[in-house]
Structure 1
């Protein structure tokens, strides 16, 4: 039987969903990649399912369906998507030069919505490797995400830091979904039984990640360092559900992306109907 190839974001934000994901008895293969590469692998058909950037879903959504009740979201501060700025107000760089990380999709376009639509700005952008000091040599502000953002924030003593999840919440009052669990439409149609088993395992993993967070935190510290209290706060701020409120927040993000000219068409959020048995 052909393996189902599952993408895994190569950041610690996803550990609560993967640490307890047991798959040795399933016909699956885990493939870790940074979000931008995982997005491309899904689009090219080299990965069958996984947490792709919400913007990547919008770009290619006819290819995908979404697994229910699993995402990477936040209602308020997300804790690892930061705009580091030389200015003490978020909107103060709305017409400045912004250095963007090359590891993101959703967060880059979220920043553009916040600065161009809500702040009515017209910044210029450059894309670089995620190195804060080098980015700030040529820019007024720099966007970092994931582990790069965490590391930079821990050592930062120079710059003001703005959390994009919080900025979005201030503007909309809604959660922001940064990644959805997308499934190749063909795989969803042809491998329904295996997909259902995989889904149940992820729900079990999510439940255990919430109930027993200490092993997750220990693994995060092994990978990245940091203090236990910081990781507890970080994971408490993340939301791994994809219910009606998260879907409404994502639909709002797509709406503003269209208004800002970042996408051309309306995006249909198509969620699979899968049974829940955990």
Structure 2
């Protein structure tokens, strides 16, 4: 095995991974089949990985799409990888006691775990529905009284738990609403790499990228087994887990890139992202360099 460790015994690569059920096809396959101890996996929720990538404590990882657009000068996107959905995603919900149209001026609690979902719910409410709520950020699962807020934004495993275990009258799937309004899929997360790492270690990054894509392909072909491993952590039954994961997509096709560009364009217009967020910048392996 090649010793890729940095000087001083530091890991050759520090890879951020979200330990949500929606990443299980990739992550569970990685844990089973990638034997590279010099590649360190760092688990966190999306916002935590956003922060780690920005501060340089990881070299690459699954991060919120929004975070990638917020710091385009720092990152490149790995081709062919995303957490996305072509319609309903099943784990990014605005849970509400009232219809969308009644949320103007209402108190909404937003999860602190995902910058992309926060940006998306604001686009949906303020641009598409034309209402302006009042936002607060916090831990959704520590909320003692569901009626303290008119609505809450929950993502990932928290959202899966609330789908069957809350008293909210309305469950708005943000991926479904985005598709209805734009006729496009939605890209919640991308695998981004710090530009310095890509420039200094292009061959190593190429090897990691290949393994990630392989894990994605293998994991997608083994959803029942993946759900046996990861489902009990939520918890969720195997059948519901398989149904849920069939709706998650992991590619970054031309249509997904168009969707991401559309989202970024809206946020640039609203002053939420710098104009340099477009065009999207991708890592390109050049073995002749």
Partner of residue 164, structure 2: 154
Does 1:20 find its partner at 2:32?
Answer: no
Runs of 4+ in structure 1 off by over 6 angstroms are none
Alpha-carbon displacement from aligned partner over 1:59-98 (angstroms, at most 9, x marks no partner): 11110001100000001011100100001x3333244221
Q: 1:6 aligns with which of 15, 24, 27?
A: 15
Partner of residue 98, structure 1: 108
Q: 1:241 aligns with which of 240, 251, 269?
A: 251
Give 3-state SS (helix, strand or coil) of 1:181's partner: strand
Q: Report if the CA contact (8 A) 1:135-1:142 is conserved.
A: no
Q: TM-score, normalised by structure 1?
A: 0.94
Partner of residue 66, structure 2: 55
Q: 2:76 aligns with which of 57, 61, 65?
A: 65
Give 3-state SS (helix, strand or coil) of 2:191's partner: strand
Q: Report if the CA contact (8 A) 2:14-2:40 is conserved.
A: yes
Q: TM-score, normalised by structure 2?
A: 0.90
1:133 Cα offset (Å): 4.5
1:41 Cα offset (Å): 0.3
Is there any run of 5+ residues in structure 1 with no aligned partner, and where? Answer: none
Alpha-carbon displacement from aligned partner over 1:227-268 (angstroms, at most 9, x marks no partner): 122111111111100111111001111111123332242413
Q: Report if the CA contact (8 A) 2:97-2:170 is conserved.
A: yes
Does 1:142 find its partner at 2:152?
Answer: yes
RMSD of aligned Cα (Å):
1.6
Q: Report if the CA contact (8 A) 2:79-2:282 is conserved.
A: yes
Partner of residue 227, structure 1: 237
1:215 Cα offset (Å): 1.8
Partner of residue 79, structure 1: 90
Distance 1:42 1:170 in 2: 33
Q: Report if the CA contact (8 A) 2:203-2:285 is conserved.
A: no
Q: Report if the CA contact (8 A) 1:18-1:205 is conserved.
A: yes
